[in-house]
């Protein structure tokens, strides 16, 4: 019998999102993991780096150079910004479809990228063919894409919190404030002073104030949705937990609003989007931990005349790895939910 499974490579799998990709793809019926790369651990079994895979995924790690030598259907890039773009340039005509988890291909133009990512070397050709991989908004475009720019974790939770209102052009200009909190795995596997146990444990801190690169990503996507330029005040915070993002978004809206109208609007917008769950109480990060869900809770505060929306995701999953798998499912015409039906891990 001919093996119909998609041949997949995970590039940069010694990191957090790479290992989460491996966990999801191992349980995906339509995929065969052909290759996992790491430059700093060539030759070691994957399970030596991530012992949770012992006896389940022990294949040796290879250099990314090996990717060019094999016929693959999908390449997942779980690499830092500025590194991914060079691999995309190399492999974009290889016949494999690429899902890039970095920020390299998410923004609209070279100029915007260079402004917000402070890039030194020039941007490769081909970025204009990338599709922004947020399935709830762009499924049709993703289906035809060869290169998907997987969204950032904060932008995923932020955009989904506000999309129904922007789609109807109901948000007052410059009124949107997004206050977001992330678990530590959002910062990647490399140790730093910021993520040192003593700096994080029993602590809680804002960072990237008035300049975090996710601001422009959120602005561009919400702007595209409404057809108007949007300006967002975005402030991330570091939470002393492993994983999870909680967004609290505040906005002024134009026209009459009520709780019933708001709930109805969100229900309509997300009715055929199985991974966005409309909640009737404030969700916590553990309600989605280990899953592909984004839980959303919209509230109308008549006293302040503001909409407040709480949204939660697992930054490593809906914010990265499971979103990448969702994109692959769409790109290859597979069932959207294949490999993504995990029930959240709670407590």
Ligand X SMILES: CC(=O)N[C@@H](CCC(=O)OP(=O)(O)O)C(=O)O
Ligand Y SMILES: NC(=O)C1=CN([C@@H]2O[C@H](COP(=O)(O)OP(=O)(O)OC[C@H]3O[C@@H](n4cnc5c(N)ncnc54)[C@H](OP(=O)(O)O)[C@@H]3O)[C@@H](O)[C@H]2O)C=CC1
Site string for ligand X, 20-39 (x = CB under 6 A): --------------------
Instruction: Phi first, then psi: give them for residue 54, nearest 5 degrees.
Output: -55, 125
Pairing outcome for strands 205-206 and 245-251: unpaired
Of the two residues 14 and 230, which places its CB atom closer to ligand Y in the complex? 14
Count of positions on this chain that bind ligand X (CB under 6 A): 11
Out of 8, 16, 91, 163, the only residue in the binding site for ligand Y (CB under 6 A) is 16
Residue 238 touches which member of ligand Y, ligand X, none, C-beta under 5-8 Å by kind: ligand X
**CA-CA distance, 323 to 302, in Å (whole number)?**
35
Of the two residues 9 and 238, which places its CB atom closer to ligand X in the complex? 238
Of the two residues 53 and 76, which places its CB atom closer to ligand X in the complex? 76
Out of 12, 18, 152, 164, the only residue in the binding site for ligand X (CB under 6 A) is 152
**CA-CA distance, 302 to 265, in Å (whole number)?**
17
**CA-CA distance, 238 to 208, in Å (whole number)?**
10
Out of 12, 133, 164, 236, the only residue in the binding site for ligand X (CB under 6 A) is 236
The one segment of 34-42, 107-115, 194-202, 229-237 that binds ligand Y by CB under 6 A: 34-42
Task: Single out the residue of 266, 275, 314 nearest to residue 293, CA to CA.
Answer: 275
Task: Single out the residue of 236, 215, 210, 251 nearest to residue 315, CA to CA.
Answer: 236
Catalytic residues: 153
Q: How far is the CB of 156 from ligand Y (least distance, A)?
A: 8
| Contacts made by residues 104-112, CB under 8 angstroms, sequence distance 24+ | 104/149, 105/130, 105/147, 105/149, 106/130, 106/132, 106/149, 106/151, 106/152, 106/155, 106/217, 107/216, 107/217, 107/220, 108/220, 112/216, 112/220
Task: Single out the residue of 294, 267, 299, 269 nearest to residue 282, CA to CA.
Answer: 299
Out of 262, 288, 316, 334, the only residue in the binding site for ligand Y (CB under 6 A) is 316
241 binds ligand X (CB under 6 A): no
Instruction: Enumerate binding residues for ligand Y (CB under 6 A).
Output: 12, 14-18, 38-41, 64, 78-81, 83, 101-102, 152-153, 185-186, 188-190, 315-316, 319-320
Instruction: Enumerate binding residues for ligand X (CB under 6 A).
Output: 102-103, 152-153, 182, 186-187, 208, 236, 238, 319
């Amino acid at each position: 019998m001919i093996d119909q499974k998609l041949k997949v490579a995970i590039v940069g799998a010694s990191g957090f999102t790479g290992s989460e990709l491996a966990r999801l793809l191992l349980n995906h019926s339509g995929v065969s993991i052909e290759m996992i790369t790491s430059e700093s651990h060539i030759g070691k079994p994957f399970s030596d780096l991530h012992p949770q895979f012992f006896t389940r995924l022990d294949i040796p790690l290879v250099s990314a150079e090996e990717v060019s030598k094999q016929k693959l259907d999908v390449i997942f890039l779980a690499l830092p910004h500025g590194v991914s773009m060079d691999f995309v340039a190399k492999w974009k005509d290889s016949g494999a479809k690429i899902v890039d988890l970095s920020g390299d291909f998410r923004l609209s133009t070279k100029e915007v990228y260079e402004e917000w990512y402070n890039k030194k070397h020039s941007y490769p050709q081909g970025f204009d063919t990338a599709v922004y991989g947020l399935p709830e908004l762009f499924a049709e475009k993703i289906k035809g894409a060869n290169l998907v720019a997987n969204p950032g974790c904060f932008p995923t939770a932020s955009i989904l919190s506000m999309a129904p209102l922007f789609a109807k052009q109901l948000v007052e200009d410059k009124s949107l404030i997004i206050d977001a909190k992330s678990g530590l795995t959002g910062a990647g596997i490399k140790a730093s002073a910021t993520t040192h146990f003593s700096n994080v444990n029993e602590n809680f801190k804002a960072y990237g104030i008035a300049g975090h690169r996710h601001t422009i990503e959120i602005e561009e996507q919400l702007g595209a949705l409404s057809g108007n330029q949007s300006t967002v005040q975005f402030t991330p915070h570091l939470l002393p937990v492993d994983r999870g993002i909680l967004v609290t978004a505040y906005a002024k809206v134009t026209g009459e609003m009520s709780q019933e109208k708001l709930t109805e609007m969100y229900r309509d917008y997300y009715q055929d989007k199985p991974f966005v769950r409309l909640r009737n109480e404030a969700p916590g990060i553990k309600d989605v931990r280990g899953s592909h869900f984004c839980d959303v809770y919209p509230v109308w505060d008549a006293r302040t005349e503001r909409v407040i929306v709480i949204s939660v995701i697992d930054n490593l999953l809906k914010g990265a790895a499971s979103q990448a798998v969702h994109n692959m499912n769409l790109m290859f015409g597979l069932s959207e939910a294949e490999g993504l039906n995990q029930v959240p891990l709670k407590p």
